[in-house]
Structure 1
Amino acid sequence: MVDNGGAPKLNFEVDKKNLYREISVTDLKIASIRQLIPVTVDGEDDPSRERLFIGTTQLGTPQGPIPMQAKLEATTLEQAMDQFPKAMELETQKVIENFKRMEAQQKKEKSSIIMPGRN
């Protein structure tokens, strides 16, 4: 959506049917797990919806840390902690694959530059 001034019109309306209370747990080393508890508009637990667990960590690289996160298929915090290592391994593989794709794309773009006077 664009308003008369040409700037995009942003929608800041709160989705009152998709509210969550968040509890964050960390081991102060590598793992952070966010537990998202569905709530109603009055802040009461909403048992009609499932809790969500999101694992987050950082991957250290020479260029700096890369934040990573993954949804953990769990119904309890303990299950989420057990799933955390595997989920982060999968996310790490995805990050590495994305870097390889980006690197290949950059090489392709460099090789497609035609320099005058060169074959």
Structure 2
Amino acid sequence: MTEETSELDNVGAEMDAANLYSEEVVTDRKVGVIRILTPIDANGQRDPSRAPIFTGETQIMTQMGPLPISFEIPAANVAEAVAGYSAAAREGLRKTVERIRELQREAASQIVTPGMPGFQAPPAAPQGGGIVMP
């Protein structure tokens, strides 16, 4: 058995037959996408004991290019999901920006040591060993 095969065996990628959904996509072709996740049973029949889940997707342009934003939309039906899309998108964007800032703070507070990615040696001291005055 190859190393790749043994790693795949450890992934544990088994489907949960009690938590299946079918997916439908709704879009206005301008702002974004709403995904409707309809609960189904293992036979593919609608599971009325569970409510559908509505998620939204959009993207914003950044200096690095488009940034996809995904968010859950609290709704009981498509009409409510469409009406709630804008507010849910704003909240999804707020959470994404908050997470990016948190990651930036974590990266800025890391102590960089030789051998770590991003380590850069300080500039060399001036020749002659003295202090250079402007």
- TM-score, with length taken from structure 2: 0.71
Identity between Structure 1 and Structure 2 (%): 29
Gaps of 5+ in 2: 114-118, 126-134
How far does residue 69 in structure 1 lie from its aligned partner after superposition? 1.1
- Write the distance in 2 (CA, Å) between the matches of 1:100 and 1:79: 31
Could you say what secondary structure the match of 1:60 adopts?
strand
- Write the distance in 2 (CA, Å) between the matches of 1:7 and 1:110: 32
- TM-score, with length taken from structure 1: 0.79
User: Counterparts in 2 of 1:102-113, with a 5 A limit?
Assistant: 102-109=103-110
Gaps of 5+ in 1: none
How far does residue 54 in structure 1 lie from its aligned partner after superposition? 0.7
Give the length in aligned residue pairs.
116
Q: CA RMSD in A?
A: 2.8
Larger relative contact order (Cα-Cα within 8 Å, sequence gap ≥ 6): 1
- Write the distance in 2 (CA, Å) between the matches of 1:32 and 1:116: 50
Q: Larger Cα Rg: Structure 1 or Structure 2?
A: 2
Q: Which amino acid aligns with 1:90?
A: E
Corresponding residue of 1:17: 18
Corresponding residue of 2:131: none
- Write the distance in 2 (CA, Å) between the matches of 1:111 and 1:18: 44
Corresponding residue of 1:94: 95
Could you say what secondary structure the match of 2:48 adopts?
coil
* Structure 2 residue 48 is the aligned partner of structure 1 residue 47: yes
